[in-house]
Copies of this chain bind each other. A is one copy, B any other.
Amino acid sequence: MTGPSELRRDPAGVHWVIIAPERAKRPDEFEPRPLRKPGGSSAACPFCPGREDRTPPEVAAIRPSGSAPDGPGWNVRVVPNKFPAVGRPDRAAGAPSPGLFHSREGFGIHEVVIEAPDHGADFSSLSTVAAGAVVRTWRDRLRALEGEAAWAYVQLFKNHGREAGASLSHPHSQIVALPLVPGRIREEIDAAVRFRAEHGICLHCRVLAEEDAAGRRIILSDADHAVTAPFASRFPYEMHIHPRRHAARFAEIGDGEAEALGALFRTVLGRLRRSLEDPPFNLILHQAPARRPGDASAEEESLAYHWHFEILPVLTRAAGFEWATGIHINPVPPEKAAAVLRRDSA
């Protein structure tokens, strides 16, 4: 498809994108540059078994009963990030400063989930059991951090590959607990609440029903989940994973749901790897914040919002136009992306 470009608004009304197949035909005077593969660099990897002393002491792990914390033998290990984006909790939060220049000392938690002992592992190479253990670990850490009154929002994300922002290739994901609800999350929730007020139904449930009926943007579908190429995809081969059961919070899924989701991630990330030669990607979770006692809006939000994961392959990069306008230019129509990612049905 190299038809005309299209301006598309996402169903929530939060952003617009330009689907511009013509852009893919641009000449490029710079030579193509192969992605840098990590190679055999496990020699110095601080996340490999036997080097547990190179990370701060673990805060959680899945390990055989009887094995000692911070020793080898683990399946999944969670440690504080040694180079955190936000300050450690033993540092008192600065008081909000008055006036225009509002700031507070970085108060938060930044953890790393080491997803497997094998340096060369990948989500798609994990066993179903191991993949499910990673998803359960995510859920358990989110739930634990959300239980602390200091954190208004806890963000889970994964950067795969250097171009996606990873500085280490050992399979890992990250969790950041923040004292505020981020603007992007707030926007999505507010849009969902407005939609429900007007239409009496969850926006995401409605979109899924329409996507199921149309079929063109469905990548994978089963009783529990739908994987779609979103109508207003900002990035080429963007994928969203939605649970079919309406729920606002991932952190409250059961063990069975975590197992099923682990299996799904194996499949979906395996397809991405095979279809596009192991592209760098970001994986992010969007869910409603944990309910706080006395929070009147929490009930409404939990009826209106629907948790989901987004997989954002890094094949283009945001440039001047995107930063100026907030509108992303995507050269790959999601209908084409879905067709490519559907084809591989391994």
Chain A interface residues toward B at CB < 8 A: 4-9, 11, 14-16, 18-20, 22-23, 25-31, 33, 36, 38, 41, 44-46, 83-87, 91, 94, 99-108, 153, 155, 157-159, 162-169, 174, 176, 178-180, 182-185, 187, 206-207, 210, 231, 282-286, 310, 312, 317-321, 323-327, 329
B325 touches A183 (CB 8 A): yes
A321 touches B155 (CB 8 A): yes
A326 touches B100 (CB 8 A): no
A15 touches B283 (CB 8 A): no
B29 touches A105 (CB 8 A): no
- 16 new A-B contacts, CB < 8 A, other than A103-B231, A283-B320, are A6-B94, A14-B183, A15-B183, A16-B183, A18-B85, A25-B83, A27-B46, A27-B167, A27-B168, A29-B44, A29-B167, A100-B231, A163-B317, A165-B319, A166-B319, A286-B324
> How many copies of this chain?
2
- CB neighbours of A91 from chain B (8 A): 4
B38 touches A30 (CB 8 A): yes
CA distance A326 to B163 in the complex (A): 19
- CB neighbours of A44 from chain B (8 A): 29
Contact partner of A84 among B20, B31, B179, B319, CB < 8 A? B20
CA distance A179 to B18 in the complex (A): 12
B174 touches A4 (CB 8 A): no
CA distance A182 to B326 in the complex (A): 7
A319 touches B100 (CB 8 A): no
**For the complex of A and B, 4 pairs with smallest distance between CB atoms:** A165-B319, A5-B106, A157-B320, A182-B325
A183 touches B327 (CB 8 A): yes
A282 touches B323 (CB 8 A): yes
25 residue pairs of the A-B complex, CB under 8 angstroms, read: A4-B91, A4-B106, A6-B105, A7-B105, A7-B179, A8-B101, A8-B102, A9-B103, A11-B102, A20-B85, A22-B85, A29-B168, A100-B207, A101-B210, A155-B324, A157-B324, A158-B320, A163-B317, A165-B319, A166-B319, A174-B320, A182-B325, A184-B324, A184-B325, A184-B326
Q: Report the minimal beta-carbon distance from A290 to chain B, rounded to whole angstroms.
A: 16
Contact partner of A20 among B86, B180, B324, CB < 8 A? B86
Q: Report the minimal beta-carbon distance from A264 to chain B, rounded to whole angstroms.
A: 19
A36 touches B27 (CB 8 A): no
- CB neighbours of A285 from chain B (8 A): 324
A4 touches B105 (CB 8 A): yes
A164 touches B9 (CB 8 A): no
CA distance A105 to B85 in the complex (A): 41
Q: Report the minimal beta-carbon distance from A315 to chain B, rounded to whole angstroms.
A: 13
Tell me whether A86 and B18 are in contact in the complex, defined as CB-CB below 8 angstroms, given that A6-B103, A29-B168, A167-B28 are known contacts.
yes
A167 touches B30 (CB 8 A): yes
Q: Report the minimal beta-carbon distance from A237 to chain B, rounded to whole angstroms.
A: 14
